[in-house]
Amino acid sequence: MKLPSLNLQILFGAVFGVMLGAYFHGLGADHQVAQGGVYAASLVGTLFIDLLKMILIPLVFCSIAVGIANLRQHDQMHRVWVTTLLFFVSSMAIAIGLALLAGNYFKPGAGMHLAMFEHAMQNFQAKQLPLPEFFAQFLHGLFVNPFLALSEGNVLAVVSFALMLGIALVMAGDRYKNVLALLEEGLALSMQMVGWIMRIAPLGIMALLIKLVAQQDVAMLSTLAKFVAVVVGTTLLHGVVVLPLILYLFTGKTPWWFWQGAREALVTAFATSSSSATLPVTLRCASAHLQVKPAIAGFVIPLGATINMDGTALYEAAAALFIANLVGIELSFMQQLIVFITAMIAAMGAPGIPSAGMVTMVLVLQSVGLPAEAIAILLPIDRLLDTLRTTVNVEGDMVGSLVVQKLLSKHAS
């Protein structure tokens, strides 16, 4: 019997995972079948993420170095940099703008009080995260002994070392062509292994979603229904309307075309809630299905997975307004501008792992004097919201690689 295509299997896996998770949730956490099911799902789901993480570091390292090295001419390298960073900052700015507009219009949390959540906030101590310190830490984390960074799986530091290596290879011309050939073969081999890992993706994604849905805290979800609706609504607006529109305007590619090529990565991001774990799949989609040249994809996608996070930026701004409403403070225009800027910095600094945005959100709250402890209210629902914002984060990276490619080709022609 012929199996359906991998894309279709992944979609079935996701739908089936949500249904089975809801069934286990209905049985209750004490039910033996539910316990066994969630245990098995957790084993399979973790195995899938482990495999993706295993290949992540060699893949990122080779892909960035090769990507940069293949942008042979200097001025082309410069243009890729500038275009990519401009795209990242603009798309995140639009996302934050949407969140602020929606937050001011719908005012989620107005009429509720922080005191209502006293129970949730007990025992929660927010970590201090002042902006100068955060910035210093971020900067300090950029340049690390590459062997340490590779062995620790420190994506940001691996990215910066690979960037430098790539630049050195460009500068040297043909002198180190053996090293470049080695890296190119390393990249091809890593991609081959990603292909194998993807064969179990339908199962892995199903397992991750079973666990997520089965363990969801429904009570908190309904208390915060309005906030959840505003966040989900704006995130969807950004992911389904804004980003596809940007893609269409710049490249003429339709949303359907994009969805067909990108869905493996989008569904994996949804299930893993981690841009980093999804990165091998995102690279595969960009270069194999969306026809982004390896030199562009190899640079834009890994960099995007670490710093370009539209969904996270949007969420951080929306949550700041929500918490301000809970405390009964109306944020002034200036304060909202500070939220705008810090939300962008916090999103850029958040690593691509589950709930990372929650940690860096402290920065946004503190910048306008809101109580960071209020994050405790959002924690129980975070895993659920993280699914969607990670999907939009990953979508932004792929759209970015297509737009950058188009802008550069226009310039070259």
Does the footprint of ligand ASP cover residue 356 (CB under 6 A)?
yes
Candidate list 65, 201, 353, 402; residue touching ligand ASP; CB under 6 A? 353
Q: Using the rule CB under 6 A, give the single segment among 102-110, 193-201, 270-278, 281-289 that binds ligand ASP.
A: 270-278
Cα gap 10→259, rounded to integer Å? 14
Stretch that binds ligand ASP, among 53-61, 128-136, 184-192, 384-392 (CB under 6 A): 384-392
Q: Which is nearer to ligand ASP, 392 or 408 (CB)?
A: 392
Instruction: Pick the closest to residue 276 from 165, 164, 390 (CA basis).
Output: 390
275 binds ligand ASP (CB under 6 A): yes
Q: How far is Cα 400 from Cα 243, in angstroms, rounded to an integer? A: 9
For ligand ASP, the binding residue among 159, 350, 368, 404 (CB under 6 A) is 350
The terminus-to-terminus CA distance of the chain in angstroms comes to: 48
> How far is it, in rounded angstroms, from Cα 250 to Cα 243?
11
Per-residue contact string for residues 9-48; x = within reach of ligand ASP by CB under 6 A: ----------------------------------------
Check binding of 55 to ligand ASP (CB under 6 A): no
Q: Give the pair of three-digit tokens for residue 178.
A: 């053996």
In angstroms, the CA 390 to CA 96 distance is: 15
Give me the least distance between CB of 313 and ligand ASP, in Å please. 9
- CA separation for the pair 379, 58 (Å, rounded): 33
Dist. CA 357–CA 246, nearest whole Å: 25
d(CA 163, CA 67): 9
238 scored as a contact of ligand ASP (CB under 6 A): no
Shortest CB 80 distance to ligand ASP, Å = 23
357 counts as binding ligand ASP under rule CB under 6 A: yes
Taking only Cα atoms into account, the Rg of the chain, rounded to an integer number of angstroms, comes to: 21
CA–CA gap between residue 308 and residue 154 (Å, rounded):
17
**Per rule CB under 6 A, is residue 239 in the interface with ligand ASP?**
no
* C-alpha atoms less than 13 angstroms from C-alpha of 65 in its C-beta half-sphere: 24
Considering only residues 393 through 412, tell me which ones interact with ligand ASP, judged by CB under 6 A.
393
CB closer to ligand ASP out of 310 and 373:
310
Applying CB under 6 A, the residues found at the interface with ligand ASP are 273-275, 309, 312, 350, 352-357, 386, 389-390, 393
